[in-house]
């Protein structure tokens, strides 16, 4: 599989190729890593080097082998540093998996990295003093929107077929619009409930 073939497939298409045996999950991951390195060099959409190895996941899940990214918007994955785009939080590490991360692992998603967000997620532009500005793959002179801009930019660039975001006031929908994507904010109750005041971001 080459980069062009990889970028032309959505999550279900990649899953089906892996299930059929036409490619292996390891081959898809190798191409995804290459795609992410190439895209991130222009977009500045990852907060950390790619995870090596990828985070643990269920090899029999419904999306087993599909490359995935998680937004740097809190302590999501046990043992993984997070910043929320803030220099004051830099150095913090998640102690446990978030309920969503548990579901991502069970789905078989291959989490390869963490995407940029504005400081504390409080902006419609994905820019921070810690990470700098995330650029739009359609026009590098423009931003990717926020606050899930890193995820949107890398999906739009074809580096991954899908990525995590959250949305309390447009943080999935705005980057999706800026980057020409479908961004899904699920109805309340479809994802694990958050505690107030963050409940609006979980549905």
Catalytic-role residue among 123, 151, 171, 202? 171
Q: Within a 13 Å sphere around the CA of 195, how many CA atoms are in the beta-carbon half?
A: 1
Distances (CA, A) of 202 to 73, 182, 198: 12, 17, 7
171: annotated active-site residue: yes
Residues 98 and 75: beta-carbon distance below 8 Å: yes
For 67, the 3-state DSSP assignment is strand
20: annotated active-site residue: no
Bridge partners, residue 133, by sequence: 127
Catalytic-role residue among 123, 128, 147, 151? 147
71: annotated active-site residue: yes
**122 Cβ neighbours under 8 A, 6+ residues apart:** 147
List the catalytic residues.
71, 147, 171
């Amino acid at each position: 599989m080459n980069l062009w073939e990889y970028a032309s497939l959505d999550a279900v298409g990649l899953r089906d190729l892996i299930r059929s045996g036409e490619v292996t999950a390891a081959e898809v991951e190798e191409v995804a890593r290459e795609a992410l390195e190439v895209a991130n060099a222009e977009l500045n959409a990852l907060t950390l080097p790619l995870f090596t190895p990828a985070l643990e996941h269920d090899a029999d899940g419904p999306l087993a082998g599909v490359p995935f990214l998680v937004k740097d918007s809190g302590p999501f994955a046990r043992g993984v540093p997070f910043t929320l785009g803030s220099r004051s939080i830099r150095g913090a590490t998640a102690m446990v998996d978030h309920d969503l991360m548990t579901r991502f692992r069970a789905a078989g998603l291959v989490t390869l990295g963490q995407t940029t967000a504005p400081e504390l997620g409080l902006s419609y532009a994905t820019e921070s003093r810690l990470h700098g500005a995330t650029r739009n793959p359609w026009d590098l002179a423009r931003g990717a929107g926020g606050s899930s801009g890193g995820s949107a930019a890398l999906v739009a660039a074809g580096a991954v077929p899908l990525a995590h975001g959250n949305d309390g006031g447009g943080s999935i929908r705005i980057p999706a619009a800026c980057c020409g994507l479908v961004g899904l904010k699920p109805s309340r109750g479809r994802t694990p409930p958050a505690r107030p005041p963050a409940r609006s971001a979980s549905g």
